[in-house]
Structure 1
Amino acid sequence: MSKVFVINTDKQPLNPIHSAQARQLLRNGKAAVFRRFPFTIILKESRPDFSVSPLRLKIDPGAKHTGIALINDTTGEVVFAAELKHRGFAIRDALTSRRQLRRFRRTRKTRYRQPRFLNRTRCLGWLTPSLQSRIENIKTWIKKLRQFAPIGAISQELGVLGTCYAKLFFLNPKILVI
């Protein structure tokens, strides 16, 4: 799992290599550090002997954390693994404190102030800010990894069982949710 991302002189992703091989390239001056996290090296001269085989990006989304793994399908080895921590609950708390401040303003004696509610409409694909943050976080990391790794396929685990179904399932285990 200690693989190093490699990009060629045209900044096209190549197959990740072992860290010892990356150290050797850096020591011989054939590569330079391009990025620290995820650790990526850039080759100083184009080398045709570096092969490119597509990797599979696997995503396991969750409410608090999302697991991301890059897997080589031919060998089955894990090239890169990471766990993203989402800000969903911090966003929720910030919105709650903002709502409390608004309510405090409303209780002041401002007789002639126009009421400020029902003046915003939500667009068709609106999501809650915490969920929007989670989606954007995952999309950002996919975009970053596509720059440094030859990703051929993306797999995502879909959470079918929601909280309302879980409550029903625990009350009556004979219910099958499809």
Structure 2
Amino acid sequence: MARHSVTAAIALTVASAAPALAATGPFFSLGNTDFVVLIAFLIFIGILVYFKVPQLLLGLLDKRAESIRSDLDEARALREEAQTVLAGIERKQKEVQEQADRIVAQARDDGQAAAKQAKADLEHSIARRLQAAEEQIDAAETGAVRSVRDRAIAVASAAAAEVIAKQMTDAEADALIDQSIKDAGARLH
């Protein structure tokens, strides 16, 4: 097979040298530089074929292609893993948001239930103590409403703090702390 390619190369070179032969005289003479260059070129090509340089180059190119293919497969795997992680994070974020919404709804329901219970207790107390002084009734009502409001505020604040803490970035938290320090300083002066 190597002889056929060498023979083909010689025939191609001789055919392309025909105009040089017509222009300068006898082509097959060592005095003709075109002929000497052709012989040197053919010997060089023969040496390359003999030492299997084209096959070595093809082998190196195949190795490089395999390396690139391996890198692409690894990049695809990393991309798929990143998409899986992202989907997991989005799912967890959705679960946390749903849990926060449930906590806020439960706090609202507890606050309303506590307010209803406090109102019922207050009405029962008023019915039993019609003769009690107006100041005692106002104090009991104010205490019950304050207790319910404080409890509802505490539960809502805790739920809101949890939701904000989970959604706030470090930069936003730092900015909020800095603003709070400025506000506290302004109130103290």
TM-score, scaled relative to structure 2: 0.25
- Determine which structure has the larger helix proportion and give its number: 2
Instruction: Give the TM-score of the pair, scaled to structure 1.
Output: 0.26
Q: Which protein is bigger by CA-based radius of gyration?
A: 2
Bigger relative contact order, structure 1 or 2, given CA contacts below 8 A and separation 6+? Answer: 1
